[in-house]
Chains A and B, each alone.
Chain A
Amino acid sequence: MAKHETPLLDQLESGPWPSFVSDMKQQAEVRAKNEDNIDFQIPVDVVEDLLGVLELSFKHGRTHWKHGGIVGVFGYGGGVIGRYCDQPEEFPGVAHFHTMRINQPGGKFYTAEYLRKLCDLWDFRGSGITNMHGSTGDIIFLGTTTPQLEEIFYEMTHNLEQDLGGSGSNLRTPSDCIGAARCEFACYDTQDLCYHLTQEYQDELHRPAFPYKFKFKFDGCPNCCVASIARADMSFIGTWKDDIRVDQEAVAAYIGGEIAPNGGAHSGRDWGPFDIQKEIIDLCPTDCMWMEDNKLMIDNKECNRCMHCINAMPRALRIGKETGLSILVGAKAPILDGAQMGSMLVPFVKAEDPYDEIKEVIENIWDWWMEEGKNRERLGELMKRQGFQKLLQATGLEPDPRMVQEPRSNPYIFWNEDEVEGGWTRDINEFRKHHQR
């Protein structure tokens, strides 16, 4: 018999999509039965009370979590999101219900053995409820009490060699696309760069030293499967500099209907036979492709590497061999000044261990933002407030037309005094010698 009636949540058990309600109920039952004789370190009925408080929210249309919550582990300034129920008498099982962020492995690859160890720890010392995964990438342990935080951290670091992720005004947990591990479009090893920089900047991740949060994300190509361009203050997107590799025989096979376009991504509908003119050449954003003697030609100098032709004919077209990445900066959600996507800063840089060139850009940006950024000002907002030019000064990069969508249309142009002959110190009396009042 469930502890709380949940008539509203019960309605989310039907329908085909995996029901979180059914899953939570099964977890509540598993804890109640406790067949493995676990000495639960937080209330056995935590999941039942979670369902209870959620049902109450469904009824009220309002959240029942108190504002904020400041908890953590010694040595770190983040990693745990404290949370307390605003009806602790009715739902004592979730009076404390803190979230721990656990730094996920690259590409979110796991072994069953490792996940089981995490589950064993979390069943024992937490609610047994998780998010796989948080939007930033972490494994989320959802719900435990304050006294358990150090215990969990101790077991994680000593027995699992596993650290917490980030929270607060610091470097948050970096994340990556699947990259070269299982994708032919990957222009660099996203997992290696992600891991390398996560380790390099552990101090910045665990101890908030920034004006506000800062995120890295690593996309292997401009398809942006980890959405770095929208969801990271610094976005690392793979690209190449030389020619797209064309296999003309495979092109002919596409034209001949032997290979389905786009890997068969449109197989659910009859779009007619593949038409290379209509589906590839006419859709190319720079109009740099054409057919000549039954061969697909690409004027690579005019290609902007949007990936469309490669996405549509993966067996015939491959990324170039001279690969690297672009760095875009400033993406953020709307608060305060409005949403931003990443803006192009470094059009091309090689991505090779030990990644010194990339680290130099990162650290120059941090030096500038940590000094100049206002309280709770994201990098994107500092760029808007002080100007892209200041970002160039901070990073020592030369202005490049690739950095703008278009030149400015207003003429409100700043000049530095040293750029102007004679400087700005002038004598009005000198001026008056030639111009009477």
Chain B
Amino acid sequence: MAFVSSGYNPDKPMENRISDIGPKKYDQFYPPVVAKNKGTWLYHEYIQPGVYFHVAESGDKVYTVRAGGARLMSTTHIREICEIAEKHCDGYLRFTTRNNVEFLVDSEDKVRPLVEDLESRKFAGGSFKFPVGGTGAGITNIVHTQGWIHCHTPATDASGPVKATMDVLFDDFKDHRLPAHLRVSLACCLNMCGAVHCSDIAILGYHRKPPLLDHEYLDKMCEIPLAIAACPTAAIKPSKVEFQGQKVNSVAVKEERCMFCGNCYTMCPSMPLADTEGDGIVIMAGGKVSNRISAPKFSKVVVAFIPNEAPRWPQTTETIKKMVEVYAQDANKYERLGEWAERIGWERFFEKCELPFTHHLIDDFRDPAYFTWRQTTQFKF
């Protein structure tokens, strides 16, 4: 492994530096049928789950085949995507906002060979490389985060639980049988990178123990006022601590005020809080971002804790599967999970989904909590 220079000269770092050129321009990568018909599309239709076409004013059609992607992927896998695109689509492809891959072709006869090719490709372990699906009233890819692959603040993994969940929900990736599309997302801590706060069903990594305090290093590693300001419940205050006979500046955490959000650790490396037994998963439900029929909704906490159960998180996936099945059976056509839960009442949602209702689910964060209690006599027994 010998160092190979790119041409960059570390002795004159600002020489020949190119900056602020931004991304490649979008239209360099449009397939010809897209470039030609941009802005003139008339309508679209699904041929089968994962396959749809758009018709333009010119009469041109573009057929899209959507395939699931693991998001975390190797260059070997990307090269295989490129090979497929060159074989079937003149080298054009795109990714969706939920990290699926889309292959676009300009005539119907190109669709079947493409679908068959995609479905025939499997990894050595047996999983599909490019399962076709993820459209319509089904379940598409899970928007997710870094987890234990790359992040320092997670309370759970991302890629692992997502694979486990998609395996359980796989039939709905390839079907259109639900009342409406159902979006699942995951965030490995409550920074909620991604879409957990606005998804039909959401998996959220959560801690249940206050941070450890590394008093020896805290004042050296952290800007103490930032750690204090990082706490949403004001559980942290500055404090002088006796360490090996010396007074050192540090912080104190009022444990009964700490709700384990981990934001102080984000700001201060001397306040780690990850814990094998304490950490696990919160399930949320009922969020949406579209404005269709009802306004966008936040997801609500419906399960306060499920332990981390690597490698397949069976309690998490069973809970999700149960919610999907009850929703599929009970909701009206076009009704999103959150619309359904609000129509039948959350008391009925918990009953039908057989989820225990515990005190953890009642909001107690500041003034707005009041608006989530029930100021009416209207309820169902």
Contacts and interface: CB of A to CB of B under 8 A. Distances in A.
Interface string B1-42: 111111110100110111111111111111100100011011
18 contacts: A13-B123, A13-B126, A17-B173, A23-B123, A57-B148, A63-B152, A66-B269, A113-B91, A129-B72, A130-B74, A135-B194, A154-B7, A229-B289, A265-B135, A268-B49, A268-B138, A315-B45, A336-B263
Contacts of A40: 1
B328 to A, nearest CB: 9
Given A15-B170, A112-B91, A222-B292, A195 B272 contact: no
Contacts, number: 470
B362 interface: no
Given A62-B274, A184-B41, A336-B232, A105 B194 contact: no
- Chain A's interface size range is 35 or more
A143 B75 CA distance: 13
Interface of B: 1-8, 10, 13-14, 16-31, 34, 38-39, 41-49, 52, 54, 62, 64, 68-79, 81-83, 85-86, 91-97, 99, 101, 104, 123-131, 135-138, 143, 145, 147-154, 157, 159-160, 163-164, 166-167, 170, 173, 175-179, 181, 190-198, 226, 229-230, 232, 261, 263, 265, 269, 272, 274-277, 279, 289-294, 296, 298, 308, 310-312, 333-334, 365-366, 368
Nearest to A40: B1
A99 interface: yes
A32 interface: no
Interface in A28-62: 30, 39-44, 47, 50, 53-54, 57-62
B52 to A, nearest CB: 7
B232 A268 contact: no
A157 B94 contact: no
Given A111-B29, A112-B91, A182-B34, A150 B54 contact: no
Contact of A285 (B46, B229, B269, B294): B294
Contacts of B7: 154-155, 158
Given A50-B149, A182-B41, A198 B71 contact: no
A163 interface: yes
Leading 3 A-B pairs by shortest Cβ distance: A13-B125, A106-B26, A15-B167
A267 B292 CA distance: 20
A99 B5 CA distance: 20
Interface stretch (A295-303, A306-314, A353-361, A415-423): A306-314
A19 B152 contact: no
Interface residues of chain B: helix, strand, loop or mixed (majority): loop
B334 A308 contact: yes
A58 B76 contact: no
A322 interface: no
B308 A44 contact: no
A9 B125 CA distance: 11
A407 interface: no
A224 B296 contact: yes
Contact of B95 (A97, A108, A226): A108
Interface in A166-184: 173, 175, 177-178, 180-184
B230 A336 contact: yes
Contacts of A231: 194-195, 198, 289
A401 to B, nearest CB: 16
Given A182-B54, A335-B232, A76 B19 contact: yes
Nearest to A142: B150
Contact of B75 (A74, A123, A335): A123
B290 A99 contact: no
Given A26-B74, A133-B99, A11 B195 contact: no
Given A83-B152, A150-B10, A267-B136, 8 more contacts: A24-B74, A112-B86, A119-B82, A132-B73, A158-B18, A181-B26, A182-B64, A337-B232
Contacts of B54: 182-184
Contact of A17 (B22, B128, B152, B334): B128
A18 B131 contact: yes
A151 B26 contact: no
Contacts of A62: 148, 274-276, 279
Contacts of B137: 262, 265-266, 268-269
A60 B308 CA distance: 10
B28 A21 contact: no
Contacts of A64: 148
A11 B313 CA distance: 12
A271 B70 contact: no
A270 to B, nearest CB: 10
A39 B1 contact: yes
A17 B68 contact: yes
Nearest to B153: A63
Interface stretch (A199-207, A363-371, A385-393): A199-207
A58 B177 CA distance: 34
Given A12-B312, A18-B128, A74-B13, A26 B85 contact: no
